[in-house]
């Protein structure tokens, strides 16, 4: 049976691997020259079920107004993006009630945990390397910050399998001595022992390599122009810049661009691009930084070690499909990190700094769209928002189940939570 996967980001490439492993004849189509060149290129690299709380928690919505007018806020709305946000924005707010937020959070935790287990078993059997760390993640809180509120959220998540420990200053330093010069800033930290991290771009390319070894074909530099239907319930082929491609089943994994291909088929996908920035610096052997991802809740800054590099990030902007890399934003990210890790300054090679931006494909509730559509042979695996890598292997597994069995076999997740 031939399956065409549209998109070779982390989601499409993981899907291709899972399908190829199960014996499908897989073709992946992507407009870039290599897999993982758009949003999966230089994301935060966090593999964190602990980050499952959707952005529209009741508390966040109350703070939204203040955040939008605060120049140091991690969230910005570009006025030009407002008209495109109206319908999506109402749904975002509708999902911010206590009950909706909680059920979305549980759906994300379950998929993310399945994903992490799946990734670990892939890693064990294939020995892939993607500059991973498996030492947990740590979130540090400044004095007067929102540590107690966050710990309460962690207690809620603990009921669904997210383990955490609270740390005092001494325990923070035992784990991350590099925070010594600024330790007096902190009231404490929360440590998540099960979280991991790594380079999502390398991981995506490893997925593509393994899928190719199993017989999958990656058609790169090929744009998908249209999806054509044979009838009101069946897709016949996709029209691409390299000609028509037929298959028995199709998986839509085009990240923030999925809505453009779905809309002509009568499928409205509630996905909005949310821009984010990252900055990556080469460490050239310097060992003075963190040994695991550290997030500073006060500066909204994160530091993620990736082999001999350090990745930093921490902003979100509604700016439609603008992917322009704004060097000013990049420097803001870097400056926030330098307040936490001043020693980094003398190790930065200004000519080797990677300033990057990408578009998170966000749904209003948080969980991605994974499952069937009104066309019997078209499946969605898209809208993974700020946790696309974290959920990619899990949602690839669900889609493979849908294509093979018509339903999800794994009883850890309720597929209704990811339905359109
Ligand atoms: C700043 C930032 C930090 C992030 N940090 C994290 C993190 O720490 N952990 C985490 O889990 N997630 C993180 N994310 C989110 C994560 O990166 C995304 O959810 C994930 O990359 C989405 O993967 P995808 O495969 O759906 O989309 P993409 O990676 O964008 O892949 C879609 C693919 O479709 C292709 N495509 C699109 N349109 C067409 C077309 N018409 N024809 C052919 N090809 C097409 C593109 O070339 C692309 O390769 C972050 C995102 C950002 C922006």
- pLDDT, tens digit (0-9, with 9 covering 90-100), for 280-313: 999 999 999 999 999 999 999 999 999 999 999 9
In a domain? residue 371:
yes
In a domain? residue 284:
yes
* CATH label of the domain that carries residue 207: 3.50.50.60
Give the span between the Cα atoms of 315 and 64, in whole angstroms: 14
Q: How confident is the model at residue 398 (pLDDT cuts 50, 70, 90)?
A: very high
The domain of 307 spans 62-101+125-196+272-362
The CA distances from residue 328 to 75, 300, 311, in Å, are 15, 16, 17
- pLDDT, tens digit (0-9, with 9 covering 90-100), for 9-57: 999 999 999 999 999 999 999 999 999 999 999 999 999 999 999 988 8
In a domain? residue 118:
no
Q: How far does residue 14's CA lie from ligand 1's centre (Å)?
A: 12
Shared domain for 316 and 289, answered yes or no, is yes
Shared domain for 264 and 281, answered yes or no, is no
- Does the pLDDT of residue 401 top 80, yes or no? yes
Q: How far does residue 8's CA lie from ligand 1's centre (Å)?
A: 9
Shared domain for 79 and 151, answered yes or no, is yes
Encoding tokens for residue 392? Answer: 């990619």
Question: Does ipTM top 0.95?
Answer: yes
Written as one string, the DSSP assignment of 47-62 is E-GGG-S-TT-HHHHH
Least confident of 4-8, 190-194, 330-334, 396-400: 330-334
The CA distances from residue 406 to 20, 33, 217, 378, 398, in Å, are 18, 33, 24, 12, 10
Domain end marker among 322, 347, 362 = 362
In a domain? residue 117:
no
**pLDDT at 97 (0 to 100):** 92
Helix, strand or coil, per DSSP, at residue 199 = coil
How much is the mean pLDDT over the chain? 94
User: In the block, which residue shows the tokens 């691997």?
Assistant: 17
Shared domain for 209 and 357, answered yes or no, is no
Residue ranges around ligand 1 (CB below 6 Å): 7-12, 29-32, 37-40, 43-46, 223-224, 253-255, 257, 276-278, 313, 358, 360-361, 382, 384-390
Shared domain for 304 and 411, answered yes or no, is no
Shared domain for 347 and 385, answered yes or no, is no
In a domain? residue 246:
yes
Q: How far does residue 231's CA lie from ligand 1's centre (Å)?
A: 31
Shared domain for 386 and 337, answered yes or no, is no
In a domain? residue 237:
yes
Q: How many domains does the chain have?
A: 2
Shared domain for 176 and 282, answered yes or no, is yes
Which residue minimizes the CA distance to atom 1 of ligand 1?
276
- pLDDT, tens digit (0-9, with 9 covering 90-100), for 52-73: 999 888 876 667 766 666 666 7
Shared domain for 19 and 156, answered yes or no, is no
In a domain? residue 308:
yes
């Amino acid at each position: 049976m031939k399956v065409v996967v549209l998109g070779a980001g982390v989601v499409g490439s993981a899907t291709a691997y899972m399908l190829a492993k199960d014996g499908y004849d897989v073709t992946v189509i992507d407009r870039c020259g290599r897999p993982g060149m758009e949003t999966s290129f230089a994301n935060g690299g966090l593999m964190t079920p602990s980050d499952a709380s959707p952005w529209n928690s009741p508390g966040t919505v109350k703070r939204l107004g203040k955040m939008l007018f605060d120049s140091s806020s991690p969230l910005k709305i570009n006025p030009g993006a407002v008209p495109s946000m109206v319908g999506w924005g109402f749904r975002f707010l509708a999902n911010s009630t206590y009950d909706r937020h909680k059920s979305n959070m549980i759906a994300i935790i379950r998929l993310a945990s399945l994903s992490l287990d799946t990734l670990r078993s892939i890693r064990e059997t294939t020995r892939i390397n993607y500059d991973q760390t498996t030492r947990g993640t740590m979130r540090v809180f400044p004095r007067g910050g929102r540590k107690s509120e966050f710990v309460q959220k962690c207690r809620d998540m603990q009921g669904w399998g997210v383990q955490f420990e609270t740390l005092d200053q001494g325990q923070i330093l035992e784990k991350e001595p590099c925070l010594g010069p600024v330790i007096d800033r902190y009231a404490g930290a929360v440590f998540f022992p099960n979280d991991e991290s790594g380079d999502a771009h390398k991981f995506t390319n490893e997925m593509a390599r393994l899928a190719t070894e199993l017989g999958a074909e990656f058609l790169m530099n090929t744009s998908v122009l249209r999806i054509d239907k044979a009838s009101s319930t069946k897709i016949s082929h996709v029209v691409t810049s390299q000609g028509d491609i037929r298959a028995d089943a199709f998986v839509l994994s085009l990240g923030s661009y999925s809505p453009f291909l779905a809309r002509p088929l009568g499928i409205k996908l509630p996905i909005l691009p949310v821009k984010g920035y990252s900055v990556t610096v080469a460490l050239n052997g310097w060992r003075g930084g963190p040994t695991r991802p550290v997030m500073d809740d006060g500066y909204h800054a994160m530091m993620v070690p990736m082999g001999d590099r350090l990745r930093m990030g921490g902003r979100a902007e509604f700016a439609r499909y603008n992917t322009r890399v704004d060097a000013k934003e990049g420097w803001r990210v870097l400056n926030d990190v330098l307040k936490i890790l001043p020693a980094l300054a003398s190790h930065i090679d200004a000519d080797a700094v990677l300033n990057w931006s990408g578009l998170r494909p966000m749904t209003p509730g948080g969980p991605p769209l994974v499952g069937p559509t009104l066309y019997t042979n078209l499946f969605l695996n898209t809208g993974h928002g700020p946790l696309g890598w974290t959920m990619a292997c899990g949602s690839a597994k669900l889609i493979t189940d849908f294509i093979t069995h018509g339903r999800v076999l794994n009883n850890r997740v309720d597929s209704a939570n990811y339905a359109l």
